[in-house]
Structure 1
Amino acid sequence: MSTLHYVLSFLLAIAILVAVHEYGHFIVARLCGIRVLRFSLGFGPQLFSVRFGAERTEFSLAAIPLGGYVRMLDEREAPVEASERHRAFNTQSLMKRSLVVLAGPLANLLLAILLYWGLGLAGTRDFPARLGNVPEGSPAAQAGLQAGDTIRAFAGNEVKGWTDLRWQVVRHALDDSYVDLEVQQGEMEPRKTRILLSGLQIEEKAADPLQQIGLVLPAARISPVLSRPLPGSPAELAGLQENDFVRSVDGKPIAFWADFVKLVSASPGKSLHVLIDRSGRELEIVVVPERVAGDVPRGRVGVAVKIDPDALNRDTIIVRHGIFDGLAHAIEQTWTTSTFSLKVMWNIVTGRLSVRNISGPVTIADYAGQSASAGLEPYLKFLAMVSISLGILNLLPVPVLDGGHLLYHAIEYVRGRPISEAGEVFGQRLGMVFLALLMSLAFFNDINRILFG
């Protein structure tokens, strides 16, 4: 997978999300009778622009792709003719101005709902929420869970598959200690139990949340055939290639993909002699797994298994929703993801979660490339998640963000008159400082991930 693939996947995602956000501002402004002068994707020097429509609105593409804006007729920016004054943004009622500001973030949330709804109608492939071996002493073992148990409900919510189960665990990890489960063994009657979540780490470097509490998939009998290694990963640097068949590691035979993952995970920073079969020719390649921090450091080489479609179809299920329950599920998914995002932000502010969880454009581009490589379904799920994050971030009461403008409007409603120009300028400067610090931290985390993993 080339760097260009990551960049293009990232730019496509940003273009879609920014276009939807700005279109929300644009269409509501038009509906409120406000004249829109420019609709821009990106900031800085214009690369391309065109005017069309009865009002000759300028639609432009700018050089810096990280954002966009809608410029409306406004007396605070330039003189407005008397005949056009009723169409200026600043002359509108407080309600209309607030609706225009709110429309951008709401458009992002609506996009997420539509994406989740479409995926639910089309059906997504997932593993059933059936457990493999339950580690001794884990919260799952303490809850009496056994290999072969299928989790039917988590905290009162139906569990349709493994992805749904992971989301339920993460969703409740920040504010719950014990959570009720409903499990079933084979054809036996479902039984109820409780599992402990306190101590669960929702950190970038932490192990999978399900594994932390002892919820593990049954060992998949997947052949150890490699997909294309990630750019710059230990696997790529060592010379491993797509379609390589792993025969052994340090002389230990590898029967299934899980065997390879187990050995790599247990060997951070150690040289591993990997015997592979490449088009009928055996080669020995030395690879050093990078260290992934956590309570128990583990190794990672940056390559996934190449999935056999027949094996995937045999071991997975299709999770599908109807029109109405699919819409309800999409709204619920968007709502719970939004509230979870706010909880994460609050826990970062209060120090419960590390600031390392703040990601910048490099990390987002990495996720965009990986999800795009995995297929259309993962990429659309990625778009929905980032669209929610963008919508929620813009609703924060920080000047220069949409939420900051809504804060000004709330103050205007209480005072009976707009905030002073000096006060607004001061707030804008504070907002710019906050965003600059936030972006600096995000870039620092990105660079730290690249250099130290």
Structure 2
Amino acid sequence: MIESPPFWMYILGFLLVLGPLITLHELGHYLVGRWLGVKAEAFSIGFGKELVGRTDRHGTRWKIAALPLGGYVQFKGDMNPASIPDGDAIASATDEERLGSFHHALLWRRALIVLAGPVANILVTLAIFAGFFMAVGYPQAKDAEQQLTIAGFMDDSPAQKAGIEIGDRVVAVEGEPVEKLQDVQQAVMLYPDQLLQITIQRGGAEMTYPVRTISMEIEDRFGNPSRIGLIGIQAAASETEFVPQGIGTSLGLAVGESVKMVDMMVTGIKQIVTGQRSVQELGGPIKIAKFSGEQLSLGWLAFINFVALISLNLAFINLLPIPGLDGGHLAFYAAEAVRRKPVGPRGMEMAYRTGMALVIVLMLFVTFNDLVSLSPFG
């Protein structure tokens, strides 16, 4: 039976996820900008009409706007909140106008200010993961070798058909070593109906078998579907326990988990682009609200873990080299470093306008996709 949280929980979850994450992202830009001597004219959470705000003693307007789907810091010299440079204004600026202007700052300063937003989101993810591993613990099998030993097969198991036998121990998937059952599951589930090289150990010898995964659609307790890959093996029973870690180990594990998540994001995007996955798997603000409310209904641990996932997604998306996003700015700065001069103002302005149009189209698409693929919150 599908369990649906009350409607208010979707709203609360959405605000508790995006509100703090957007604020921290923009604070990253703002604080590094202040540190490097660049003046911020506006700090906004949300877009559109200002609902409430105040101006501080530095002349920065702090405000909350009507559309809670993002935010921005508008630095001195920006043409608009997307930091599109005004070429004519930059070239004709007086000495007074250049003072504290973002676009007149040294290249490395501009790059650090832009990079600070995504870095803030990455740090949030690392802090959540590390805190979880210290407070709750890292999942470890009491007998990892036994957990990786095949005890049985599903009906019509592709692994069994490929020649893998009961008693074999999985040691690698696609050449990547695995240390626990979760590693095998994560490595396989991303690739439905694809040929994977599964390396096993049998009698002291290692053998690699090509196994074509099963494509299976599953649903969680809220009825959200997902398509995963399976190779049809059943692991030997092995108890898993959560072992609290020290701060150093926790940070290392947090980095490792974050890298795995980014790899999953990149793989998912590649599969959507190549047609291996449906574009309906792309999510927008409505899906974020739905999943936020569902995770909040499961308790704070599940919800905070979801916040870490969204925070890393925000960093990843913002670092894409699309003009108008942080990654687009950094791409122009890289070009400027190589050319030893900025990209021409007309070409830069056209690129930024095209990039912003692309972002708006993508937002409209994923929102429409949400409306089509989801019934009204279950």
TM-score above 0.5: yes
Tell me the CA shift for residue 105 of structure 1.
Answer: 1.2
User: Does 1:27 find its partner at 2:31?
Assistant: yes
Tell me the CA shift for residue 116 of structure 1.
Answer: 0.9
Q: State the structure with more CA Rg.
A: 1
Tell me the CA shift for residue 217 of structure 1.
Answer: 7.9
Instruction: Indicate the RMSD between aligned Cα atoms, in angstroms.
Output: 3.6
Tell me the CA shift for residue 98 of structure 1.
Answer: 1.0
Distance in 2, Cα, partners of 1:207 & 1:362: 20
Tell me the CA shift for residue 353 of structure 1.
Answer: 2.7
Moved more, 71-80 or 420-429: 71-80
Q: Tell me the SS of whatever aligns to 1:177.
A: strand
2:287 pairs with one of 363, 371, 381: 363
User: Does 1:117 find its partner at 2:130?
Assistant: yes
Identity of aligned residues (%): 30
Distance in 1, Cα, partners of 2:244 & 2:304: 16
Letter in 2 for 1:378: A
Asked whether the 8 Å contact 1:139–1:195 carries over to 2, the reply is: no
Aligned residues: 348
Tell me the CA shift for residue 398 of structure 1.
Answer: 0.8
Q: So what's the TM-score if we normalise by structure 1?
A: 0.66
Tell me the CA shift for residue 66 of structure 1.
Answer: 0.4
Tell me the CA shift for residue 316 of structure 1.
Answer: 6.0
Q: Tell me the SS of whatever aligns to 1:6.
A: helix
Distance in 2, Cα, partners of 1:171 & 1:182: 23
The residue aligned with 1:401 is: 325
User: Does 1:213 find its partner at 2:213?
Assistant: no
Asked whether the 8 Å contact 1:358–1:441 carries over to 2, the reply is: no
User: Does 1:392 find its partner at 2:316?
Assistant: yes
Q: Tell me the SS of whatever aligns to 1:353.
A: coil
Q: Deviations over 1:34-87 (max 9, x none)?
A: 1122221111111111334x5243321111110000111117579877446331
Tell me the CA shift for residue 334 of structure 1.
Answer: 1.2
The residue aligned with 1:72 is: 75
TM-aligned CA distance change 1:397 to 1:175, over 3 Å = farther
Tell me the CA shift for residue 6 of structure 1.
Answer: 0.9
Name structure 2 gaps, 5 residues minimum. Answer: 81-85, 142-146, 218-223
The residue aligned with 2:179 is: 158
The residue aligned with 1:253 is: none
TM-aligned CA distance change 1:181 to 1:365, over 3 Å = farther
TM-aligned CA distance change 1:63 to 1:373, over 3 Å = same
Distance in 2, Cα, partners of 1:358 & 1:105: 21
Moved more, 398-407 or 436-445: 436-445
The residue aligned with 1:317 is: 241
1:448 pairs with one of 368, 372, 375: 372
TM-aligned CA distance change 1:103 to 1:193, over 3 Å = same
The residue aligned with 2:199 is: 180
The residue aligned with 1:59 is: 62
Tell me the CA shift for residue 194 of structure 1.
Answer: 5.3
Distance in 2, Cα, partners of 1:435 & 1:41: 18
The residue aligned with 1:167 is: 186
TM-aligned CA distance change 1:191 to 1:21, over 3 Å = farther
Tell me the CA shift for residue 326 of structure 1.
Answer: 1.4
1:11 pairs with one of 1, 10, 15: 15
Name structure 1 gaps, 5 residues minimum. Answer: 184-188, 220-314
Letter in 2 for 1:19: T
The residue aligned with 2:254 is: 330
Tell me the CA shift for residue 173 of structure 1.
Answer: 7.3
User: Does 1:98 find its partner at 2:111?
Assistant: yes
Distance in 2, Cα, partners of 1:357 & 1:197: 25
The residue aligned with 1:248 is: none
User: Does 1:36 find its partner at 2:54?
Assistant: no
The residue aligned with 2:83 is: none
Distance in 2, Cα, partners of 1:84 & 1:74: 8
Q: Deviations over 1:317-343 (max 9, x none)?
A: 325433222111111111222233123
